[in-house]
Structure 1
Amino acid sequence: MNVTPIDHIRISDVVANLARAQDEKDWERFQGLFADRVTLDLTGQPGEPAEELTAPEMTAKARAIIGGFACTHHASSNLLIEVSGATARCRAHMVAYHHVPTPGVDHLTMRGYWRLDLVDANQRWAIRRWAIVRTAPWEGNPNLYDIAREGASGDLRDAP
């Protein structure tokens, strides 16, 4: 599985843009990173089955959660990339910091990795499967996702 320098750069850009799109709440950029159909795999989180979504559904789901955070910071490292023809796999170590102003503990940090399966779609790599795997205990308030989701619901009413 020979990875060309161009494919390595293009796939690394997908990882960087996935982190950036979430941190900047740039939902157009976010949606553009995915194939028409994508599998979101959160089975590394207890009780979360993998689900098949369209790119717009994936974007709406992310927006419903990430949109409620005052800020996030996703930092990736140690990318391992394999390419086989028009498909690729990438594993990126991830530290994701999430913040919502709230009494008490107002942050949550996840440590683990993203496992991305990609497909070459018209000379660009598009994500067709995104697995988020937590490899260490949460640091901070594990209820922050619920708090963010409640906050994002008001933002979505105003969305175009």
Structure 2
Amino acid sequence: MLHEKKLQSSAHRAVAAPADDVAAVVAELRDRAEIVDALYRFALGQDTADREMFASAFAEDAELDFRPAAARWGGSPPVMAGRDTIVTTILTMFAGRVKTTHQVTNARITIDGDTARMTALVEAQHLLIAEPARHALLKNPYELDLVRDGDRWLIRRMRIDNTWYTGEPTAIFGP
């Protein structure tokens, strides 16, 4: 119940720009689009193995915590720290072995100056290229902290949890 009240309270603060200030509303809408775009770059960069796009989602000092999701099937990966580590680790782990598709939905954003917080649901399908019948379909709540970088936004911290999955996550990610 306390968590629900916290979410309701933050939802009321999600719209900061006064409706009669057109320039402020446009700036806020642009920020919101750019914030969601950081998560889109993360997802599509993986799905297309586009290293540059994938890297463009993260701040240099980014942190990605997949431990909550992996714990659902007994995995215990380390927290990945640093844009280069995140990009190299994930793209290398999947290269030539795993095909992914991600769908992003239900994004909720709060903006505080040059920082933002976003939650979203991401459905991620992973399948083994050599054995497409072996797959893992994951429904994951994401929590992200982002920072402004000029006109774009970058992910500084990403925490991925898991609500449900089907298939064999250990075939994709290991035990």
TM-score range, shorter chain: 0.7 to 0.9
Correspondence 1:95 to 2:123: yes
Q: Distance in 2 between matches of 1:64 and 1:141?
A: 20
Q: Distance in 2 between matches of 1:30 and 1:140?
A: 25
Unaligned runs of 5+ in 2: 1-12, 18-27
TM-score (norm 1): 0.81
Q: Given that residues 75 and 96 in structure 1 are in contact (C-alpha distance below 8 angstroms), is that contact kept between their aligned partners in structure 2?
A: yes
Correspondence 1:65 to 2:93: yes
Matches within 5 A, 1:46-125: 46=71, 48=76, 51=79, 53-102=81-130, 105-125=133-153
**1:49 CA drift (Å):** 6.2
Q: Distance in 2 between matches of 1:78 and 1:122?
A: 25
**1:51 CA drift (Å):** 2.6
Q: Percent identity?
A: 28
**1:68 CA drift (Å):** 4.1
Q: Given that residues 41 and 56 in structure 2 are in contact (C-alpha distance below 8 angstroms), is that contact kept between their aligned partners in structure 1?
A: no
Q: Given that residues 114 and 133 in structure 1 are in contact (C-alpha distance below 8 angstroms), is that contact kept between their aligned partners in structure 2?
A: yes
**Structure-1 residue corresponding to 2:58:** 34
What RMSD in Å do the two structures reach over aligned CA positions? 2.1
Residue by residue, what CA displacement relative to the aligned partner does 1:98-132 show, whole Å, maximum 9, x if unpaired? 11145594111011222111011223201110111
Q: How many residues align?
A: 146
**Structure-2 residue corresponding to 1:143:** 170
Computing the radius of gyration from Cα coordinates, the structure with the larger value is 2
TM-score (norm 2): 0.74
Correspondence 1:6 to 2:19: no
**Structure-1 residue corresponding to 2:47:** 23
**1:55 CA drift (Å):** 1.1
Change (3 A) 1:12 1:107: same
Q: Distance in 1 between matches of 2:127 and 2:42?
A: 18
